[in-house]
Homo-oligomer: A and B are copies of this chain.
Amino acid sequence: MSEFDLIDKYFTRPTKHALLGVGDDCALLAPSKSMHQCITSDMLVEGRHFLSTVDPFRLGVKSLAVNLSDLAACGATPTAFTLSLSIPQVDPNWLEGFSKGIWDTALEFGVDLVGGDTTRGPLCICITAIGEVPPGDALLRSGALEGDDIYVSGTLGDAAWALDVFRGNTSVDGEIFERIRRRLEQPTPRVKLGVALRGVANACLDLSDGLIGDLNHILQRSGVGAELSTEWINNSEAISGDLLELGLHKRLEYVLSGGDDYELLFTASKDAREEVRLAGLQAQTPVTCIGQIKKEKGLQIFDPKGGLIQRRFASFDHFQFPA
């Protein structure tokens, strides 16, 4: 099979919005009138971002989902994406599964695959996604203000738990594993919530490297500090029933420093509490308040009983973790 046959068979479908999709030197988009364009790009490498044994369908879903999650974090409506793919060999089963994961996710979020590249090499996936946001409405990391509430969407910690199981550090009942591995392998980009938070949230990002590390990005960019409570770790919509089976220490570790949640972390004024609640309802996504933005720099974390947690929690770093 030639490169062009491969692209034709697995990665070419009519576009819904783009003027021109796969097949020419460039794709052609007509942006909506006076909208700003958001762009994000993620590269996924075998052994680092996914295990070699991962189901190709799930890998296809995740590859696109993590990019849509970045768009969600900016409050953008996704429109199009490019897919560049390096694969060690032409394996029809793998390509069938992977492309189905891509197409199913693209269809669910109404986004066009408009181009990219295919080559032979180590398994590596690079997607660049584009979305639109009205001028001034983009949610940035830099907008957090003193007194803001800090929120997370969905549930935290399950993906990190699943990764720990994959790594052989812990074991778990099969049914629970099926649920938590899905959180790791097929994250849910919070696109609807991101759009609903336009004009409501002051700062926002998506959680990929762990709550503490990612919250620090907001704090640094915004020039503020924060206090994080954790009593919600014992009983809130932000914690799955499965995670509640674990001891407090493990839960804290997975929730505070585990990555791969792809939930939104955002701040909003106390006056906007009702609007935040409505945004969550509108997006059918749980939203939980987990702390407050403070004027004083630094991040203080309190245990569920209100005592200050002294221990440092690591954040995922592609260059500092062992290879």
Contact = CB atoms under 8 A, between A and B. Distances in A.
Given A2-B319, A2-B320, A84-B43, A29 B24 contact: no
Contact of A122 (B28, B115, B122): B122
Interface string A123-167: 010101011010100101110000000000000000000000000
Nearest to A126: B126
Interface string A5-42: 01000000000000110011111111101101111111
A128 B82 contact: yes
Contacts of A1: 319
Contacts of A204: 25
B120 A84 contact: no
Interface string A26-62: 1111110110111111110111110000000000000
A295 to B, nearest CB: 23
Contact of A25 (B26, B49, B120, B205): B205
A117 B43 contact: yes
Q: Within the oligomer, what is the number of copies of this chain?
A: 2
Contacts of A4: 317
Contact of A6 (B41, B73, B124, B319): B319
A3 interface: yes
Interface in A50-95: 70-71, 73-74, 76, 80, 82-86, 90
Most chain B CB within a 10 A radius of its CB, from A34, A49, A90, A121? A121
B19 A29 contact: no
Contacts of A116: 41, 43
Nearest to A29: B37
Contacts of A86: 43, 45, 124
A62 to B, nearest CB: 14
Contacts of A46: 121
A318 interface: yes
A287 interface: no
B41 A30 contact: no
A260 interface: no
Contact of A120 (B39, B126, B319): B319
A77 to B, nearest CB: 12
Given A24-B141, A124-B45, A318-B3, A39 B115 contact: yes
Interface of A: 1-4, 6, 19-20, 23-31, 33-34, 36-43, 45-49, 70-71, 73-74, 76, 80, 82-86, 90, 114-122, 124, 126, 128, 130-131, 133, 135, 138, 140-142, 204-206, 221, 317-320, 323
